[in-house]
Amino acid sequence: MLVIVPDECIDCGVCIPECPADAIFGEDDMPPGQHDFIKLNAELARAPGWRPIVRTVLPLPGADIWNGKAGKRELLERKWPAGC
């Protein structure tokens, strides 16, 4: 999973068609039931240990297995205080 830093995003939309998992949406185009990802994205963008991606890397092991899998949100482990 990766997140976008809301304060740095200029809403150009270039990343949307580039995402191989079709997992990036503009705030006005969020699919039903996905709006809570806006808040989660902002939280994770500030979370300790989440570092910027500065170079192209291969997909992580299991990426295809997790792509589109339902119920992943509940499996997210927060190892920092909520609201941090």
Interface pattern 2-21 for ligand SF4 (x via CB under 6 A): --x----xxxxxxx------
Return the number of the residue (13 or 68) whose C-beta is nearest ligand SF4.
13
Interface with ligand SF4, residue 64, by CB under 6 A = no
Residue 68: what residue type? Answer: G
Sign of CA dihedral 49, 50, 54, 60: positive
Q: Are 50 and 65 in contact (CB under 8 A)?
A: no
Interface with ligand SF4, residue 29, by CB under 6 A = no
Return the number of the residue (9 or 30) whose C-beta is nearest ligand SF4.
9
